[in-house]
Amino acid sequence: MKNVIVVGGGLAGLRTAMALRTQGYQGELTLVGAEHHRPYDRPPLTKAVLAGESDDTTLPADWERLRCGLRLGQRARALRFHDGRPGGVLETTAGPLDFDGLVIATGATPIRLPGDGPQHVVRTLEDARGLRASLRPGARVLIVGAGWIGAEVATAAAEKGCRVTVLEAAATPLATVLGPELGVLTVGWYAEAGVELRLGAEVASVDHGGVTLTDGRSVPADVVVAGVGARPEVDWLAGSGLDVQRGVVVDSALRTTRAEAVAVGDCAAWWSERYGRRLLVEHWETADKAPEAAAAALLGRPAAYDPPLYFWSEQFGRTVQYAGHHSAADQMVFRCAPDSSCWTALWVNGNRLEAVLAVDRPRDLVQGRRLIAESAELDIRLAADPQVPLRDV
């Protein structure tokens, strides 16, 4: 392989470029990125950047040592593979580029709500700066969606003295990711922060001056923020012949259906041997770590990415961390009462730990994550005792 193109200048694209070099790839390397910035970190956008504590989240990289050409502000528009031989042509807004190896790392795009009124989303640095400028004391800020992003934006807006309302269509925050049983435990966090949370409120459209709900009522607002999820940025792959469903379909080593192309990060739906199913997640850690396996696979070496999942969020002054993957059938065990300031929920299947959610209990998270990775057996009675370190149960 002599000419690799990385499409997408986010965390996953940068990490794959780095991994290719550390794994000995010596050929040409080019990164094509639609944004004008060098790869930067997104988690701080809804945290330090909105809070006004940071304005630059550029990821550290020694571009000279990396010997990676940067084509910033250029967007991939289409992909064609050669017939009967490896490689192909990437059509970009700046013209065609030949490749014999390809990394697809185009991330995800936030979903916007219907309606012609102004709405903010937070995916890019510009999005975060634009929203930050609107978060003035007293402004009526309406956030649609009480998911991870919605809760983080609500935190920042409340801290800035805005009058914040969060509308959530489900019966609890985080219902789809954590389940209603746990989601309900976060309801009080909104009230504590002075944020009005309206559950079961579904937005039909964003208008000028607020939103209209599906029941016909309107809710006035000066600023509307959509935090209703993101979809993988894969439309440009139409007609490429790759298997693209919700994301780019890849195996447990991030290989697409073409041996010379891998996909990684938020745009990739990879096969997890651990969970026996295809996973498509928007987790920083996956974009950071899966590139090692993607680079190895591209270089034709044995590779697999299959750790327990991990993500975190910072909301209403709390650090919330989750590791593993649970199902509704798992038994839930609490360490500390969930109405205390910090607590941990464990999901257990038989005597095996499947997942852990820690609220301001980082040690539980670290130890629980290790138990999950090792498929260790635990004593549930001991695990429920917050005084006993999880590693000893």
Strand locations in 182-317, DSSP E? 196-199, 203-207, 210-213, 218-220, 223-226, 230-232, 248-250, 261-263, 268-272, 277-279, 310-315
Q: Which of residues 280-299 bind ligand FAD (CB under 6 A)?
A: 282-285, 287
Q: Which one, 103 or 175, has the nearer CB to ligand FAD?
A: 103
**DSSP string covering 117-160, please?**
S--B--SSHHHHHHHHHH--TT-EEEEE--SHHHHHHHHHHHHT
Q: What is the signed CA dihedral for 214, 216, 222, 228, rounded to 10 degrees?
A: 0
Residue 131 CA to residue 134 CA, distance in Å, equals 5
Residues 6 or more apart whose Cβ sits within 8 Å of residue 86? 100, 258, 259, 260
Q: Does 313 bind ligand FAD (CB under 6 A)?
A: yes
Q: Smaller CB distance to ligand FAD: residue 1 or 72?
A: 72
Contact call for residues 165 and 219 (beta carbons, < 8 A): yes
Nearer to ligand FAD, 149 or 358 (CB): 149
Nearer to ligand FAD by C-beta: 21 or 352? 21
Q: Count the site residues for ligand FAD by CB under 6 A.
A: 36
Tokens 């649970």 belong to 326
Nearer to ligand FAD, 100 or 285 (CB): 285
Among 104, 122, 244, 345, binds ligand FAD (CB under 6 A): 122
| Pairing assessment for the beta strands 318-324 and 352-359 based on DSSP bridges | antiparallel
Q: How far is the CB of 13 from ligand FAD (least distance, A)?
A: 6
Binding mask 127-156 for ligand FAD (x = CB under 6 A): ----------------------x-------
Nearer Cβ to ligand FAD (102/378): 102
Binder to ligand FAD among 168, 233, 292, 330 (CB under 6 A)? 233
Indicate whether 364 belongs to the interface with ligand FAD (CB under 6 A). no
Distance CA 196, CA 209 (A): 18
Identified binder of ligand FAD from the candidate list 7, 211, 269, 390, rule CB under 6 A = 7
- Interface residue with ligand FAD among 21, 23, 38, 43 (CB under 6 A) is 43
The answer to the question of residue 45 lying near ligand FAD (CB under 6 A) is: yes
Shortest spacing between CB 84 and ligand FAD, in angstroms: 26
Binding to ligand FAD by residue 49, rule CB under 6 A?
A: no
Should residue 211 be labelled a site residue for ligand FAD when binding is judged by CB under 6 A? Answer: no
Taking the complex as a whole, how short is the minimal distance between the CB of residue 387 and ligand FAD, in angstroms? 29
Stretch that binds ligand FAD, among 78-86, 105-113, 315-323, 376-384 (CB under 6 A): 105-113
| 33 contributes a contact to ligand FAD by CB under 6 A | yes
Provide the 3-class DSSP secondary structure of residue 267.
Answer: helix
**Cα 286 to Cα 270: distance, rounded to the nearest angstrom:** 11
CA distances from 219 to 86, 164, 173, 222, 348 (A): 55, 12, 19, 10, 42
Binding-site member from 88, 101, 107, 179 for ligand FAD (CB under 6 A): 107
**Exposed e or buried b per residue across 67-96, where buried means at least 16 C-beta atoms within 10 angstroms of its C-beta:** ebebbeebbbeebebeeeeebbebebeeee
Evaluated on CA atoms 330, 282, 148, 386, the torsion sign reads: positive
Interface residue with ligand FAD among 29, 101, 106, 120 (CB under 6 A) is: 106
What contacts 95, CB < 8 A, 6 or more positions away? none
Residue 32 binds to ligand FAD (criterion: CB under 6 A): yes
The residue ranges that bind ligand FAD (CB under 6 A) are 7-13, 32-35, 42-43, 45-46, 75-76, 105-108, 122-123, 149, 233, 236, 265-266, 282-285, 287, 311-313
